[in-house]
Amino acid sequence: MSRIHYDLNARGTILELGHATKVMGIINCTPDSFSGDGKLDVSSTLRFARKLIREGADILDVGGESTRPGASSVSLEEEIKRVIPVIKILTQKTKIPISIDTSKIDVARSALDEGAVIVNNTRGTQMNNSFLKMVRDYKASIVIMHMRGTPATMQKYTYYKNVVNEVVEELKISIEKCLGVGIKKDRIMVDPGIGFAKTVDQNLALISHLNRLNVLRCPILLGTSRKSFIGQILQKDVEARLMGTAATVTAGVMQGVHIVRVHDVKAIKETLKITDAILNAHT
């Protein structure tokens, strides 16, 4: 199958999506990241960011609050302290688009003030109008991710009659909310929220039917990197889930995914080079 092509507008930066899969490199400024790669001081974080850029990251996603299942929230002050110094330097030192991974309006606003161009909101289906209006006013791009509840409670909300249908419908409502406050369609991405209020089987069902999200007419972002459902299937710890991640990324791209959010940029970039070549092959 072929992918739908989009020009995503992130504060004037145009990302051409659809021919080559874009890689969003993860920068965790947290001590309790599930992946065990959290960075707490600015210098080590910046060294890591430069490494991801060398390995081929197209976007850097900076987050200061863990969203792993059962994670407790971080104060506004602490989250700002963790991420804003990093974003400030990254936007000065690189032309790579910077994304802020947060559900707090003041953190997002501070990041945008420092030059971030994308807001990656893990509670995208629960955003209020004030958050959306702020994104509109900055002309930022936004990732709407599907989740029910909060990281601390989300695994209590895994009942679906049909997980694919319900994720699509709930994302559709969120897109309509965005459009309703004036966010333009070419600034919106959707993320099915793999691992967020989903069981292992539900995650697999979503990945195998990601093409169903095409009805939303928005670019699709997929975040499966090192997640627990891969560990449960392979019986592998976090640091040994690269091959499982690569398999999910390949499956997602063949189903129409435009951007993958990953920890292991170099290996996944190579995986995507082959997957994209297959997907773009002409008969």
Q: Is 227 a catalytic residue?
A: yes
Across the range 246-264, mean pLDDT stands at 97
Number of neighbouring beta carbons within 10 Å of residue 156: 11
Summarised one tens digit per residue, pLDDT across range 22-79 is 999 999 887 654 444 555 678 888 889 999 999 999 999 999 887 666 656 788 998 9
Distance between CA atoms of residues 174 and 233, nearest Å:
31
Which phi and psi (to 5°) does residue 243 adopt? -65, -40
Please pick, among 227, 266, 269, 273, the residue that the annotation labels catalytic: 227
Q: Given this model, what pLDDT does residue 37 score?
A: 53
Whether the CB-CB separation of 216 and 175 falls below 8 Å is answered with yes
CA 92 and chain centroid, separation: 23
Per-residue pLDDT for 155 more than 90?
Answer: no
**Catalytic site residue 261?**
yes
Predicted local confidence at residue 35, as pLDDT: 44
Query: How far, in Å, CA of 23 to CA of 97, rounded?
Result: 11
Q: What pLDDT is recorded for position 151?
A: 76
Which one of 22, 39, 148, 261 is the catalytic residue?
261
Given this model, what pLDDT does residue 255 score? Answer: 95
